[in-house]
Amino acid sequence: MKFFASCAKGLEYLLVDELLALGCAHATATTAGANVVGTLEDAQRAVLWSRLASRVLWPLAEFACADEDALYTGARAVPWTEHLDASTTLAVDAHVSGDAITHARYAALRVKDAVVDSLREASGARPDVDVEAPDLCLNLVVRKGRAILSVDLGGGPLHRRGWRRAQGEAPLKETLAAAVLMRGGWPALYTEGGALLDPMCGSGTLLIEGALMAADVAPGLSRDAARPGEARAPSRWRGFDATVWARLVDDASARERVGRDRLRPVFFGRDLDPHAIRAARENATAAGLRDAIDWAVGDVAGLATPVPPASQETADLADAMRRGLVVCNPPYDVRLAADPALYRTLGNALRRAVPAWRASVLCGHAELARATGMRAKKNYQVFNGAIECSLIVCDPVQPPERATDEAAVQLSEGATMVANRLRKNMRRLKSWREREDVQCYRAYDADLPEYAAAIDVYIASDDGSPAGNLLWLHVQEYAAPAEIPEAVTRRRFNDVLAAAREVFRVPRERIAVKTRARGKGGSKYGRFDARHEFLLVDEGAVRLRVNLFDYLDTGLFLDHRPMRLRIADEARDTRFLNLFAYTGAATVHAAVGGARSTTTVDLSATYLQWCADNLAANGVGGARHRLVQADAMQWLDAETAQYDLIFCDPPTFSNSARARDFDIQREHVRLLRAAVARLAPGGVLYFSNNFRRFRLDTEAVAAFAACEDITALTLPPDFERNARIHRAWRLTAR
């Protein structure tokens, strides 16, 4: 069965890892949550044990929802007597987007009316509404003309752990606190004997959450719906398995008793505000941690290396002080002024007091993170409510001094020009990259004609590998005209590389260098290196594998990013076909976007394996996702199935020994006619190619398809200077 676990934006991949560790069969990251395959017991276990999920939603119905009447009709069709009775109190939490239904509260009211009317008709009685503590909480999502109605198995927000008695001005949600701790590697560090310090602890959320993690306390045990020693289910939904819940609670309670008995007092909280320390003590007492955490009033500027109280000091505790994790949530929003000087003070204090420790610090934005002066090993984009934040992980706080910084070299006049243009481009693209969460993009494309190269940035996903979250560069040198002396070409390209290293501060080993020389008929594709080094990168809701060194192209055409995201948006419940699929990035977007099935056709076994690896990286696979090694033209001639959504991005030419010679200008009408013939009624074909001199035979195509040029809609901002990078059309059958 499929269910959905929601979370704060930026925590999706952490949540996927957590759900898989909890025993779910599959989990795939999507925006602000994860689509999960598992049993009802898996979902109930997630309610009890997930530290990151905001809600766990078990679907009851999904239906077309064009307006309020369709919403009522669809909700009314659910057999509500199977899910609750008239004595059950009810609440509906609604989230809507689009033009058809624009008011979430009204949508919730219509669903409530449908439930009440159904039960009144069946029994003559109706349930009451209780928005504070309902017996059954329903969740409604309306998006793109579809409605999904689910049971909220946790009965409300899961960040409520049940111990918070007092809070500061801007409390951190417990789920985000757990993410800060996990990104810092806290559970493993505690197991190795490390300590935990928060030098600006506020009401104590990070330390209390860290201590409960160390004590192996399930987050759901302390909620009102499941107090220790009780097995009352968090939902009175009739489908909820109370017997399984009681068993899960008993097991969690036994683990808690063992964990609390073994908990070491290696937790230290400091704050300048005595009121905050009082609140932290009150919360810790409510969490059963009164003696586990050492609280003290103190200014971060005077931070000292933490030491255990004399009454508790042992050799093991003294050893723990030599290593540990600093966690911190300094002020950064409109309620708590973001002061770069405070961040500098924090960074200086940590380098002085705990230089060998690790740090996981939630900063308001990248500029504040840089103000700490600490060198981040990894940098994550997360959201604290609506506030976009930078979570930096430094390990150690104070890296060993290096004799020289190889990137800090004196730039030539030409390299300085390129560096200045790069910085200008980065400023121009900054708001777009942050708004769209773009991790791979073009930073420079022969902006200065004499420095003819393209510079692409790839930021690796945090997948636990050494490359995770690192910035890599892919630099392509365009072949110079024959009349330019080789020495001049070499000097100019060296200037490009020097500028790139200066601006991005990337070591040479993380820069892939290519030369695109034009041969007969177009660019020559071939193998370049043999590093066999793949990176995972994020694009929208998916992760994709790229190889920067071994091939001319990396496995991901960056200019087609908007097209792939369009496919993801339109793929839900479609039969998707990807022709000339390359490494299958569009297939992955369609699959994660909810395609009913996908078919991927390419002549290369290497690319098909790459596609299979891409699908696997997103938890997708099985018979619904077919990979076909074939010449696309020949395959289309033999295929009889119909498809709702087709993407066709052929090469300019192909002279493979395993297929007929192909030329896009010569063959495109025959190709499009064969592809349109495979469209189901109402289906859409997206056609694109990168041949700069391509001319669509509009008269011939008009005989069998309606065709719209959508090129302008598919060119991203990082390619706006290169408007001829590709052309794209939307075709529907006549």
pLDDT tens digits for range 93-113: 999 988 888 899 999 999 999
Domain C-terminal end among 367, 394, 421: 394
In this predicted structure, what is the pLDDT of residue 319?
Answer: 62
In this structure, is residue 249 part of a structural domain? Answer: no
Shared-domain flag, residues 583 and 613? yes
Residue 40: pLDDT over 60: yes
- Residues 130, 268: one domain? no
Same domain, 614 and 683: yes
State which of 362, 394, 426 marks the end of a domain.
394
Mean pLDDT, to the nearest integer, of 377-393? 88
Which tokens in the block code for residue 123?
A: 């029994």
In a domain, 561, yes or no: yes
Q: Label the pairing between strands 727-733 and 662-663.
A: unpaired
pLDDT of residue 722: 85
At 467 the pLDDT is 65
Mean pLDDT of the chain: 89
Mean pLDDT on 117-128: 92
Number of domains forming the structure of the chain = 4
Q: Is residue 579 helix, strand or coil? A: strand
pLDDT digits (tens, 9 = 90+) for 316-349: 666 656 789 999 999 875 444 567 888 999 999 9
- Are 324 and 431 in the same domain? no
> In 593-681, which residue ranges form alpha helices assigned H by DSSP?
605-617, 632-638, 664-676
Residues 321 and 419 in one domain: no
pLDDT class for 31, splitting at 50, 70, 90? confident
Q: Is the Cα dihedral 125, 128, 129, 130 positive or negative?
A: negative
For residues 384 and 420, state if they share a domain.
no
The boundaries of the domain holding residue 368 are 174-215+263-394
Asked whether the predicted pLDDT for residue 2 surpasses 70, the reply is yes
Q: Please give the pLDDT value at position 659.
A: 59
Assign residue 148 a region (left: φ > 0; alpha: ψ between -120 and 50; beta: otherwise). beta
Flag whether pLDDT at 402 surpasses 60.
no
Q: Is the pLDDT of residue 372 over 70?
A: yes
Residue 346 and residue 419 in one domain? no
Tell me: do 381 and 352 sit in the same domain: yes
- pLDDT beyond 90 at 225: no
Q: Which long-range contacts (CB under 8 A, 24 or more apart) does 546-554 make?
A: 546/440, 546/458, 548/458, 548/472, 548/474, 548/512, 549/512, 551/525, 551/526, 551/527, 552/514, 552/516, 552/523, 552/524, 552/525, 552/526, 552/528, 553/525, 554/456, 554/458, 554/474, 554/512
> Residue 174: CB partners within 8 Å, gap ≥ 6?
51, 159, 160, 161, 164, 205, 209, 219
Work out the average pLDDT over 378-401: 87
Higher pLDDT, 724 or 245: 245
Q: What is the CATH number of the domain that holds 53?
A: 3.30.2130.30
**What integer is the mean pLDDT of 162-174?**
82
Q: Lowest mean pLDDT of 3-7, 132-136, 372-376, 652-656, name the range.
A: 652-656
Report yes or no on 102 lying in a domain: yes
In this predicted structure, what is the pLDDT of residue 168? 62
pLDDT for the residue numbered 33 = 94
Question: According to the model, what pLDDT value does residue 587 have?
Answer: 98
Interval 673-715: pLDDT, tens? 999 999 999 999 999 999 999 999 999 999 999 999 999 999 9
Asked if residue 243 belongs to a domain, the reply is: no
Strands 625-629 and 597-602: parallel
The dihedral through the CA atoms of 462, 468, 470, 473 has a sign that is negative
Residue 95: inside a domain: yes
Whether 270 and 318 map to the same domain: the answer is yes
Between the CA of residue 410 and those of 265, 406, 407, 416, what are the distances in Å?
51, 11, 9, 9
Residue 252 lies in a domain: no
Spatial CB neighbours of 563, under 8 Å, sequence gap ≥ 6: 586, 647, 686, 688, 714, 728
Tell me whether residue 551 is in a domain: no
Q: For position 407, what pLDDT does the model report?
A: 42
Say what the pTM is: 0.61
Assess whether 281 and 365 both reside in one domain. Answer: yes
Please check whether residues 708 and 579 belong to one and the same domain: yes
The pLDDT tens digits of the residues spanning 643-667 come to: 999 999 999 987 665 557 789 999 9
User: What CATH number is attached to the domain comprising 450?
Assistant: 3.30.750.80
CA angle, 404 then 408 then 409, to 5°: 105
Q: What is residue 94's predicted lDDT score, i.e. its pLDDT?
A: 95
Least confidently predicted of 202-211, 544-553, 624-633: 544-553
Does 353 map to a domain?
yes
> Mean pLDDT, to the nearest integer, of 280-306?
94
Are 600 and 729 members of one domain?
yes
Give the residue with greater pLDDT, 442 vs 466.
Answer: 442
Q: What is the pLDDT of residue 335?
A: 42
- In this predicted structure, what is the pLDDT of residue 320? 58
pLDDT for residue 408: 47
| CATH (domain of 678) | 3.40.50.150
